[in-house]
Structure formats: C-alpha cells, structure tokens
Chains A and B, each alone.
Chain A
Amino acid sequence: MADFGNAGKITIRRNAAATQIDQAANESLHYKLTALGAEPEFAFSCQHRQILSSKTWSSPQMIYEWDLGKKPGDFDATDDVYVVAMSFARITKYTLQVEHRNQFGSVIEVLKDIDYESQDPNDSYNDSLRVFTA
C-alpha cells in the first residue's frame, strides 16, 4: 500500500508539524533537500508567495540547501505555513531535512528528517511546516 500517490513511500525519522521562531534572537530555519535520480522538480512556497524552486539553481544537483529567516522579510507573517512540494517525474527519492538554528548557526532542534520515495513519475508530495514567529 502506498504512503502517498500511486507508489509513494515515506520514512519518518523526525517530523515536526509546527514550530516557533524567535526573530529577535535571529533564529532561522535551514532546509536541506537531497535528490536522487535525473533532474529534480521541487518548489518552496508559503501562503503568500512562491519563494524558490529547483529552477533557482542553474543546473541539477544532488543537494539543495537554503535558509529562511536570515534575511529581513523572509518571514512575511507571524503565522505562516511553508511548503516543500516535490515532483517524482524524474526523481525517485528525496530526503528533506529542516533544522531550527540559532544566530550562530548551531542547531536548536531538528524539525524534519524524512525520506520520500516513489517509482511513479506521476506522483508528487507536499510537506508543510507551520511557523509562528515572535
């Protein structure tokens, strides 16, 4: 039985659905997305804007990393949902890791560490994290 779509499999090591970020203390979120296969198609959005996608990088890579909260305006609402949408059209495995970090880059908490796999190119999956900022 598939965990998602036609052939999806989810392996969860850590999966927080929500967290709180202290902007005054310069806390941030660090995203790391690892893809295996041909060319990844993924997107990162919140409720209000499309933040980045696989096309943000000029060529296909195995590891994509970005930060949220290091630049002013990264968090555009005090209560927002951030989504990583992954297409399996040309990729069969993604590993999503999200860390809550302090101003020095040290990890406060690992929020997500999840494998998403599918052999069906029609499958896609959305992973969300609700972020409250103070």
Chain B
Amino acid sequence: MPTSVTRCLGLLVFLLLAAGSNGAAAECQDAKSLDAYINCRIVEIAKATITQSTGAKQAETPSISADSTSLVDQSSASDLFAVALNLAGANANSSGLGVTPASVSASAYALYTSAKELNPLDPAIYSKYRDWRRVSFTLGKDAAPKGATNTGSAAIVGAKVLILNWRDASDPRYAKDFDHVTAKLQASAQNYANIASSIEDYLYQVLRPKMTVALGDVPTDPGKKIADKIKFLNAVSANPAAALQQLSLQQIADIDNIISTRIGPQVELIDSTRELVSRIRSAPQFSVAFQSSTGAPNGIDDYRGEAVLDRGVLSPRINLTLNSSFDQMHNKQTGVDMRGGRAAGEFQFQLNPTSETKLTNSRPWLLSLGAQGQWMTRLTPTYELQAKLTIPLFSGVDFPVSVSWANRTALIKESRVKGHFGFTLDVAKLLAAFKSAGAPAL
C-alpha cells in the first residue's frame, strides 16, 4: 500500500477515535460541587435531553469549487468567520497541480464589529446588529481543473444574503417563546431552591456524624448549629465526591426520591426548551448567493447566481437543502460562453441518537446525500451524486469526507468518481471553546 494512502488511513482512524471520544455521558459522581451533583441527578431523573445541533451553517468551500467537499450550498454562513481547507486528493480528475482548495468566509457582522472595535459576543451588540449577520462574504482559491496545462489556481469570490432568517434565535418572532422559557426557568429555580434545601438538610443529618475528624463533634448548642452547618455544607461542596462515597445505596436513593417528588418544574423547563430549540432548528431559511471561480490558467471561468432554501423535514434530525442556480461558464481557450441552470438537493441526517433517556454529546455526526443536475448550452447535461460524512472533531472543527460520482465534467466526456476530505473551522465556535468566549449556540 502506498505510504501516502497509509498515512491518510492512519489520520482518518485517529480522527474517528478522537471524535468518538466525545460521546461520554456525564458522571454525577464526579461532580465539581454539590450543586453540580444535584443538577446532574435532576437531568438523569428527568431523562429528557436533546442533542442535535444545527448543520445549516456552511463553513465549507462553496460548491462552485471543483474540489469542494460540498455539492450543495447551505443558506447561512458562520456568525463570525469560517475557514475551509480541502486537503485531499483522491480526485482522479483533478489536475494535481499542487493547489489546495481553501476558502475564508466572514459575516458583515464580524467585519463591522471588528472595524468598530465592538465585542461581537456582547448580547447587547449581538441583538442590536443582528441584521448584519444576514450578509457574508467568501474569498478563496480553487484547483485548476483537469485539462489545464499550467500551474496556478482560480480565485473564488462569493457573497450570500439571508432573506429569510428564521433560524436566528434572536429573531423577534421568538420573543414570546423565550418569555415562556424564562417563566419556566423562574419556576424551576424556586423549585430547585427547595430541592437543594431538602438535600442539604438530609446530607447534614446522615453525613455530619461521620465527619467528626474533619469538623469536630456535632454541636449540641443550637446557637452553634448554624455555623456548623455552614462549615459542613462548604466542606461537602468543595469535595462532593468524597462526601458522596460515604453514602449508602439507600441514601443515594433517598436523595433521588427528594428530587423525584419535585421533578415537575424541571421537566417542564427541559421540555419547553427542547421544543423551542427543535422548532428553531427546523425553521425554513432562504438566501441568495453569488459565486465566481476565475483566473485559472487555460481553465474555465465559472459564475453562479443561486437561491438556497433550508428547512427541517419529518424530524428535527433531518434537514433538506435545495439549490437553484443560473450558471455561466466562459472558456478562455475558445472564447465560447456556455449558459444554463443547475438544480441540487441534499438531505442531511444526524446520525447521533437523540434518545430522551440518555445523556449524549451534542456535536452531531452528519450523513449527507445529495444530487445535482446541470444543463448548459453546448454541453451534455451533467449529473452528480454525492455522499458525505461530517465528523465533529472539536467544538468548531469538523472533518468532512465525501465521495461523489458524475457522468461527466465540463471538460471531459467521461464519468468520474472522486473522494475528498478536508477541515472546516467555525471561528465563533472555536472562540467559545478555546478562549472562553461565547457565541449563540443555535
């Protein structure tokens, strides 16, 4: 087996293992505080957690790139910046001239807040300038298609405008829904105060007599009880694992019982949040976009104006994306223009289970199945099918792997099969993950 192929397979196995390690469930026994333990037990008992994350924010190189891992364009881009790098190489019809397709996307919001030196993650700024996130720009370079004889790369330029932006959770249309969630949050907070009080009293009763070495004898003087209880609660919260280890199975069951008898408001909060998040993620989203790929030596200049629609179908785990575009190709060798249209569609399936009885990691594995047809003057119609697996590596970093089949290309009248893999980086999510900053999670 060639060394390069072995390295690629090795990298793929490493990445799969790294991604697979994301799925570990929370362990209540390792809680960092008494509150963390109680919160964990509440979620376990409520058994209501949803995990899907939106897949409709495109970070990949636009579809106009011959070596893009994306056959179909999605309706929105990253909130701030996104970088896409198509590393691979398995395309038998690529020119192989040493150019790695890559693109950088930025929203107008990111550019505006940078220019004004505003914190893009300040909630007041984020809400005030929400319409600036409707517009995004892409710059990149593309590999020359097979048939090109010179080295060099084409320049990718693109712009996208979100006309319908119903997946923006800060859209005023969701204000009443979030007021409802806040009301549930208030009720759950008061309910939690009573749960915590009962559990703390119970722990003081069963654990305090066992902690005489660390805290001294249990005071009998009522005047000293409060100070003793404060000392006890702070000691338990500082090292909950040590305290919980001293509980019997029956005592742990007693704590769960305290929670169970008051679980109602917590379940209502989880359910109302889940319903709203699911509804926003499935909402329709529509954009118009322009892309061009120009400047490849002896290559073809491509121009595309397209409309893009995203919407959830059947289940919150399935997203449908439709593209309809007007395409123009200019062959610089012959001076001939070719015009036509393109239609493409893609289903995205979230592979992660969304069981309501398990805690699972929120980063989704996405399987995409897409097809497109392109009808150009002077050319035989082109049809292409693609399957793609998007593997989440870390928050904000994805690893898309795709394989596609086409009956022909613009330059070559023969069918082809190509495979690609690359990396996409969503800077908003990376900021949140690595710089302890935050971006809207939807």
- Cβ distance B358 to chain A, nearest Cβ, rounded Å: 10
B123 and A60: CB pair below 8 A?
yes
Residue of B whose beta carbon sits closest to that of A37: B438
Is residue B389 contacting chain A, with contact meaning CB distance below 8 A?
A: no
Main secondary structure of the interface of A (DSSP, over half): strand
Scoring B26, B123, B178, B194 by chain A CB atoms within 10 A of each residue's CB, the highest score goes to B123
Give the docked Cα–Cα distance between A88 and B234 (Å): 27
- Cβ distance A44 to chain B, nearest Cβ, rounded Å: 7
Residue of A whose beta carbon sits closest to that of B48: A122
**B-side contacts of A108, CB under 8 Å:** none
B188 and A126: CB pair below 8 A?
yes
Residue of B whose beta carbon sits closest to that of A95: B436
B169 and A89: CB pair below 8 A?
yes
Q: Mark out the residues of chain B between 399 and 442 whose CB falls within 8 Å of any chain A CB in the assembled complex.
A: 429, 432-433, 436-442
A89 and B178: CB pair below 8 A?
yes
B233 and A7: CB pair below 8 A?
no
- Cβ distance A58 to chain B, nearest Cβ, rounded Å: 11
> Out of B24, B187, B238, B277, which one reaches A121, CB within 8 Å?
B277
In the complex, how many residues of chain B place their beta carbon closer than 8 angstroms to a beta carbon of chain A?
75
A5 and B43: CB pair below 8 A?
yes
- Cβ distance A96 to chain B, nearest Cβ, rounded Å: 11
Is residue B182 contacting chain A, with contact meaning CB distance below 8 A?
A: yes
Binds A, one of B11-19, B34-42, B88-96: B34-42
Residue of A whose beta carbon sits closest to that of B278: A122
Q: Mark B354-376, 1 if CB is under 8 A from A, else 0.
A: 00000111110000000000000
- Cβ distance A27 to chain B, nearest Cβ, rounded Å: 14
- Cβ distance B194 to chain A, nearest Cβ, rounded Å: 5
A6 and B49: CB pair below 8 A?
yes
**B-side contacts of A23, CB under 8 Å:** none
Interface residues on A, range: 35 or more
Q: Mark out the residues of chain B between 185 and 238 whose CB falls within 8 Å of any chain A CB in the assembled complex.
A: 185-190, 192-194, 196-197, 200, 226-227, 229-230, 233-234, 236-238
Give the docked Cα–Cα distance between A92 and B238 (Å): 25
B234 and A3: CB pair below 8 A?
no
**A-side contacts of B437, CB under 8 Å:** 36, 93
B196 and A128: CB pair below 8 A?
yes
Is residue A103 contacting chain B, with contact meaning CB distance below 8 A?
A: no
B185 and A4: CB pair below 8 A?
no
Give the docked Cα–Cα distance between A124 and B277 (Å): 13
Interface CB pairs A-B, < 8 A, 20: A1-B25, A5-B359, A6-B51, A7-B361, A12-B33, A16-B234, A37-B121, A39-B123, A47-B197, A62-B123, A83-B190, A85-B185, A87-B181, A89-B169, A90-B440, A92-B440, A119-B433, A121-B442, A126-B192, A128-B196
Q: Which 4 A-B pairs have the closest CB atoms?
A: A92-B438, A36-B438, A85-B189, A17-B237
